Amino acid sequence: MINRNSRSGLIWLPWVIILAVIAGLFLVYTYIEKENRNAKSCRENLKQIYLALELFELDRGYLPTLDFYPSEPHTDASSLRVALANYGVETKHCLCPSSPDIVIQQGLSYVWNTKMNKRVLSEVDEPHWLLMDIQSVHEDVTGPHFRNVHVLYSDGSIQRSDEIPLGIVETY
């Protein structure tokens, strides 16, 4: 004869499994939504930086001279943050929300293509990369946007890529 207590436990087991699956799906959905919001915010930051670069160029006649990644992003004159501060770039625009904490503490999530220093955007024949997520620099580090990085190009377009843009390996 089957014990009633053990039989009632078997009745609840499928419901517990179903609830666990639903909770797991909810967690995955929440994670994906958060990452999508972060990716959108990163693209908006890059758009704001591009607008500031256009204003800088209108004011000075050429793009700023910036370091690939300054040693002191908060204070170096060759830092994206400092050079574009008068053109509407704020601290939040220089940080991808998906960057690791150590990068966020540095105060700058993007690297600059130094080949674009003092260039004129309208004179660039084909789009060249201007900025990209710092995670793209090291081959062993995955990108912050579902294993991809954002790349801002000289025509103002922003593309998600799983590859390092051409030319960066030879230069840096």
The encoded tokens of residue 157 equal: 């377009």
**Contact status, residue 45 vs residue 90, Cβ threshold 8 Å:** no
The encoded tokens of residue 91 equal: 């601290």
For 71-81, how does the pLDDT look when each residue is reduced to its tens digit (9 = 90+)?
Answer: 999 999 999 99
One-letter amino acid identity for 51? Answer: L
Q: What is the pTM of this model?
A: 0.81
- Which residue is listed with tokens 């998906």? 98
The tens place of each residue's pLDDT in the chain, 172 residues long, gives 455 555 666 778 888 899 999 999 999 998 889 888 988 999 999 999 999 999 999 999 999 999 999 999 999 999 999 999 999 999 999 999 888 888 889 999 999 999 999 999 989 888 999 998 887 676 655 566 667 888 999 999 998 877 766 555 444 4
Query: Which residues have CB under 8 Å from 133's CB, separation 6+?
Result: 42, 96, 99, 109, 110, 111, 143, 144, 145, 149, 150, 151
